[in-house]
């Protein structure tokens, strides 16, 4: 099943996994078209890493099916391994080796001819801005450099599908942007990226589609825009000059939630120009002094809180 003409790079149906009594995946269905970025979001312990481990053949499911790059993960694990790259939460970098040696080691493990391995290593060192550090032991690298090397090692075998499990945790903003640019380049070349992340802005920035995993089930799936539209949370925040102005604004606007200590009002709004103008006109007509006005449209944080945490829904 695909959403377009291209075949699915990842097709998961009814995936189940338990550890002892604990049900970790409770019937997960996912389809990821080739050449796209798919992001799996979920709180700590939601089952993201377990999903990645099953799809990358490191763990076996108890039930359901999963195909990656056209191969069944249970029946054809070697074919799946030959088509994928995995960057996990724990680095594969050997810190005693230099950056270049790490890459050449992966090339050897993949049985690349020596000359091709060397050319690939040089290309990846350049691409990840590690040429100057190539001959230094990875133990001397910064955290960001190690992560870049780790990602470079994932790419030695030219994988069709890449699993990135929280790839930018601990990176500074500039290194994150470099990592994002690399992901975009890979996707432009037709690679499929399966990304788990705790950074919702990362999913918003990179992912064509996002699935939210909660207690072992996919509770929502769609583009970032679709997910944002599904939840309420758009509002205008007004800060008034004094308590009298808060009362006057409440009387004028009706449907608004005051925070009297902060002298603010939260007014539900779609953030559109028309409704903003109507709001401002109503305040203006009554000469209500507004110290500050800000428009809040739902972001993926709101989506995440609304879909994965019942208290979050209640407080909205």
List of residues contacting ligand ATP (CB under 6 A): 19, 24, 42, 44-50
Nearer to ligand ATP, 39 or 49 (CB): 49
Smallest separation (angstroms) from ligand ATP to the CB of 196? 7
Nearer to ligand ATP, 43 or 252 (CB): 43
d(CA 163, CA 186): 12
Nearer to ligand ATP, 141 or 199 (CB): 199
DSSP reduced 3-state for 250? helix
Smallest separation (angstroms) from ligand ATP to the CB of 257? 32
- Token couple for 155: 């790419």
- Token couple for 169: 């945790």
Cβ-contact 268, 231 below 8 angstroms: no
Smallest separation (angstroms) from ligand ATP to the CB of 43? 7
Angle at CA of residue 77, ends 75 and 80, nearest 5°? 120
Nearer to ligand ATP, 42 or 159 (CB): 42
Smallest separation (angstroms) from ligand ATP to the CB of 201? 16
- Token couple for 82: 């030959």
DSSP reduced 3-state for 112? coil
Nearer to ligand ATP, 48 or 67 (CB): 48
Place of tokens 């493990």: 109
d(CA 143, CA 138): 10
Give the single-character DSSP code of 7.
P
Smallest separation (angstroms) from ligand ATP to the CB of 50? 3
């Amino acid at each position: 099943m695909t959403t377009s003409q291209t075949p699915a790079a990842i097709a998961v149906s009814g995936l189940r996994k338990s550890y002892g009594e604990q049900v970790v995946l409770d019937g997960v269905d996912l389809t990821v078209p080739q050449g796209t970025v798919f992001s799996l979001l979920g709180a700590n312990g939601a089952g993201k890493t377990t999903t990645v481990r099953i799809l990358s053949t490191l763990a076996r499911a108890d039930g359901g099916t999963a195909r990656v790059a056209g191969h069944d993960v249970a029946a054809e694990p070697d074919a799946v391994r030959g088509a994928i790259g995995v960057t996990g939460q724990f680095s594969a970098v050997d810190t005693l080796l230099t950056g270049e040696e790490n890459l050449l080691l992966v090339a050897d493990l993949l049985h690349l001819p020596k000359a091709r391995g060397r050319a690939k290593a040089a290309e990846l060192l350049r691409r990840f801005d590690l040429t100057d550090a190539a001959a230094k032991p990875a133990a001397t690298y910064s955290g960001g450099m190690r992560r870049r090397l780790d990602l470079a090692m994932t790419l030695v075998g030219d994988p069709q599908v890449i699993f990135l499990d929280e790839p930018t945790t601990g990176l500074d903003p500039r290194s994150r942007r470099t990592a994002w640019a690399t992901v975009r380049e890979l996707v432009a070349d037709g690679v499929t990226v399966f990304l788990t992340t705790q950074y919702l802005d990362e999913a918003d920035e990179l992912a064509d589609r996002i699935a939210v995993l909660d207690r072992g089930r996919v509770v929502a799936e769609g583009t970032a825009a679709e997910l944002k539209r599904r939840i309420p949370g758009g509002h205008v925040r007004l800060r008034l000059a004094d308590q009298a102005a808060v009362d006057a604004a409440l009387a004028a606007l009706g449907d608004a939630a005051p925070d009297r200590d902060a002298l603010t009002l939260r007014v539900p709004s779609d953030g559109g120009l028309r409704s903003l103008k109507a709001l401002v006109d109503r305040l203006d007509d009554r000469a209500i002094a507004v110290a500050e006005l800000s428009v809040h449209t739902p972001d993926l944080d709101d989506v995440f809180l609304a879909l994965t945490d019942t208290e979050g829904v209640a407080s909205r």
